[in-house]
Amino acid sequence: MALLEVSGVTVRFGGNVALDDVELSAEPGIITGLIGPNGAGKTTLFNVVTGLLPPNSGRVRIAGRDVTRLSPTKRARRGLARTFQRLELFSVLSVRENIRVAADLRRGWARDRTDPATVVDEIIERIGLQSVADARVDSLPTGQCRLVELGRCLATRPQVLLLDEPASGQDEHETVAFAALLRELAASGMAVVLVEHDVHLVMEVCSAVHVLDFGRIIATGTPSEIQANEAVLAAYLGGGA
């Protein structure tokens, strides 16, 4: 069963249709890609899924339960977490403190007796930021800040993880390590949805890819099917892909 199901989602801003009858699903254990040109509606869809933006029509389900009318907080408690295209971090706090905030919050609402400090240490090791764990995040390069935001998501122990351009600002070495981390997260049973302009990364790590263009899903398939799709080549990948 899919952990995330988006069905018939439409969003209008005045006369502009930002999302038009969008269908998307994400299953546990795999990474699902969502690609498309700038302005296609990818971040808007994430905002609908996380409850920051109500749809004009359609439904969002997490683990089979309809969450369309739930607040972002309640969706988080049902296992949903996300990163943002524009970094959202506590800039004057350290890496450790940023992740600890999420760990403490989860402990409160989940009544989890696990020591948050232990959780934070495990996450920092998992994302590979031991050497900068006590550095303020505003002193770090963008690529590492992206990992901090991911670490904060992991502290909530999500079932569904939405990543909005998480490889932005990473160099080639960091991207290779990040691809391995994504595979590890999916293998643990999460449903990972990846919005990313690094098409090579998407095609390398994703099992399924959805393509948005002007608010509509124009193709869904495996990476090889997407790379051979004429509509996708014309709208996004380019004739030489």
Please write the tens of the pLDDT for every residue from 182-199.
999 999 999 999 999 999
pLDDT at residue 239 tops 70: no
pTM of the model: 0.93
Q: Are residues 189 and 102 in the same domain?
A: no
pLDDT at residue 93 tops 70: yes
From residue 44, alpha-carbon distances to 123, 172, 195 in Å are 29, 28, 11
Q: What would the pLDDT profile of 32-61 be if each residue is shown by its tens digit? A: 999 999 999 999 999 999 999 999 999 999
Residue % of the chain over a pLDDT of 70: 98
Which of 156, 191, 210 is the C-terminal boundary of a domain?
Answer: 156
Q: Are residues 2 and 121 in the same domain?
A: no
At 85, list the tokens.
Answer: 């295209």
Average pLDDT over residues 70-79: 96
Q: How far apart are the first and last CA of the chain?
A: 33
Q: Are residues 96 and 191 in the same domain?
A: no
Q: Are residues 223 and 204 in the same domain?
A: yes
Q: Are residues 222 and 241 in the same domain?
A: yes
Q: Are residues 41 and 141 in the same domain?
A: no
For residue 204, the model assigns a pLDDT of 96
For residue 240, the model assigns a pLDDT of 44
Q: Are residues 167 and 71 in the same domain?
A: yes
Q: Are residues 63 and 13 in the same domain?
A: yes
CATH classification of the domain holding 19? 3.40.50.300
The total of structural domains in the chain comes to 2
For residue 82, the model assigns a pLDDT of 97
For residue 225, the model assigns a pLDDT of 95
Q: Are residues 144 and 176 in the same domain?
A: no
pLDDT at residue 154 tops 70: yes
Q: Parallel, antiparallel, or unpaired: how do β-strands 80-82 and 160-164 relate?
A: parallel
Q: Are residues 46 and 67 in the same domain?
A: yes
Average pLDDT over residues 140-157: 95
Q: Are residues 39 and 116 in the same domain?
A: no
Domain that holds residue 5: 1-79+158-241
Nearest to 10 by CA among 58, 47, 46: 58
pLDDT at residue 226 tops 80: yes
List CB contacts of 205: < 8 A, sequence separation 6 or more. Answer: 31, 33, 179, 182, 183, 194
Q: Where are the beta strands (DSSP E) in the chain?
A: 4-13, 16-26, 31-35, 57-62, 65-66, 80-82, 160-164, 191-195, 208-213, 216-221
- Count the Cβ atoms, other than its own, within 10 Å of residue 211: 23
d(CA 75, CA 61): 10
Nearest to 196 by CA among 175, 180, 226: 175
For residue 6, the model assigns a pLDDT of 98
For residue 241, the model assigns a pLDDT of 41
Q: Are residues 24 and 14 in the same domain?
A: yes
Which of 156, 182, 203 is the C-terminal boundary of a domain?
Answer: 156
